[in-house]
Amino acid sequence: MICKVCGNSESNKEFQIREMMFGFRDEFTYFECSECGCLQIAEIPKDMEKYYPSNYYSFKKGESNNFIKQILIRKRDEYTLLKKGLIGKALYIKYPNLLFDMISKMGVNYNSRILDVGCGAGNLLYSLNETGFTDLMGVDPYMDRDDVDGNVTILKKTIHELPDGQKFDLITSNHSFEHIPDQLETLSKISKILSENGVCLIRMPVKTKCIWNRYSVDWVQIDAPRHFFLHTLKSFELLVEKSGLSIQDVIFDSTEFQFWGSESYKRDVPLTAENSYSVNPKKSIFASKQIREFRKMANELNKNKQGDQAGFYLTRKK
């Protein structure tokens, strides 16, 4: 099998990995490149729609019927992005928004033109709109139809269908890049539609030695068959180098999910099962103390650049 990132075909190792989010347990062949370390699916299933049912998490709008909660979330997010408001600051300290924290470092303002690639129902875009941003667009080929709602436009398209002349100051791919089959072409397109001083944030799983050695095929973020590529730092650097972009910074932001999710899969418990921690914590095998320990472990891994996910800041090559 030939690595789609670096072209290596020698000593690549195959693995059989099950679909476990919904508990289909269908098996898929992945292989690990012996050169760049990227774990990638050998063949993309013809019928991917089966693995994106209507209850897939990114297709759901993150709306709350609790008006007070909505206000508090907005206060927190406003502080995260713009560092305004004491109430928001207190909420940010207690309940940080990791994605907005990353976006805040990118020099955005209310006039920034923002594109979210693989936007799903548009939750990120609507949250940005709530805090005052007005030029917001998302693309996602898996959505049912185009949707224009005030300042938010969501298109049932891939990024390749946008004209090269359309420029964006901020392009985000929040845990969607790993779902994209033509990754080099996508990065090359981003380099064309990113404004001169624009920034692209790609947030995705990262295959580190720590998580792979510990869990191997039970690593929850493989998410077969939806995730086509699980990059190492080396493999993603190789890919970006070919695209007209360059990596300016990498921030590891893994959470306790890497542990309780993978431990669940080891025990044959799907993510959506009744006794999954994500569905019903009280029915799961994990005590609160154990979750706190997992969180502490994740923070340590992030400090050592060994967490299982990260945000990559990309700019156009000068």
Q: What is the pLDDT of residue 143?
A: 86
Facing residues of 149 across strands? 152
Q: What is the pLDDT of residue 176?
A: 96
Spell out the residues 6+ positions from residue 235 whose beta carbon is closer than 8 angstroms to its own: 5, 6, 33, 36, 37, 38, 229
Strand order across the 309-316 sheet: 147-149, 152-155, 135-139, 113-117, 168-174, 194-205, 309-316, 245-252
Q: What is the mean pLDDT of residues 214-221?
A: 99
As a whole-number percent, the residues of the chain with pLDDT over 90 amount to 78
Q: What is the pLDDT of residue 62?
A: 54
Gap between the Cα atoms of 257 and 223, Å rounded: 13
When pLDDT is cut at 50, 70 and 90, the band that residue 58 belongs to is: low
Is residue 57 predicted with pLDDT exceeding 70?
no
Q: What is the mean pLDDT of residues 35-42?
A: 99
For residue range 238-289, what is the model confidence (pLDDT) as tens digits?
999 999 999 999 999 999 999 999 999 999 999 999 999 999 999 999 999 9
When pLDDT is cut at 50, 70 and 90, the band that residue 64 belongs to is: low
Yes or no: say if 218 and 166 are a contact pair by the CB < 8 Å rule. Answer: no
For residue range 115-162, what is the model confidence (pLDDT) as tens digits?
999 999 999 999 999 888 999 999 999 888 999 999 999 999 999 999
Q: What is the mean pLDDT of residues 30-37?
A: 99
Q: What is the pLDDT of residue 73?
A: 81
When pLDDT is cut at 50, 70 and 90, the band that residue 107 belongs to is: confident
Using alpha carbons, select from 92, 67, 70, 69 the residue that is nearest to residue 81.
92
Among 53-57, 110-114, 270-274, which is the least confidently predicted range? 53-57
Is residue 163 predicted with pLDDT exceeding 90?
yes
Is residue 55 predicted with pLDDT exceeding 80?
no
- What phi-psi label fits residue 7: left (phi over 0), alpha (psi between -120 and 50 degrees) or beta? left
When pLDDT is cut at 50, 70 and 90, the band that residue 43 belongs to is: very high
- What is the set of domains in the chain, with CATH numbers? 13-316 (3.40.50.150)
As a whole-number percent, the residues of the chain with pLDDT over 70 amount to 97
DSSP codes of every residue in the chain: ---TTT---SS-EEEEEE--SSS---EEEEEE-TTT--EEESS--S-GGGGS-TT-GGGS----S-HHHHHHHHHHHHHHHH---HHHHHHHHHS--HHHHHHHTTT--TT-EEEEET-TT-HHHHHHHHTT--EEEEE-TTSSS-EEETTEEEESS-GGGS-TT--EEEEEEES-GGG-S-HHHHHHHHHHHEEEEEEEEEEEE---HHHHHHHGGG-GGGTTTT--EE--HHHHHHHHHTTTEEEEEEEE---THHHHHHHHHHTT--TTSTTSTTT-GGGSS--HHHHHHHHHHHHHHHHTT-SSEEEEEEEE--
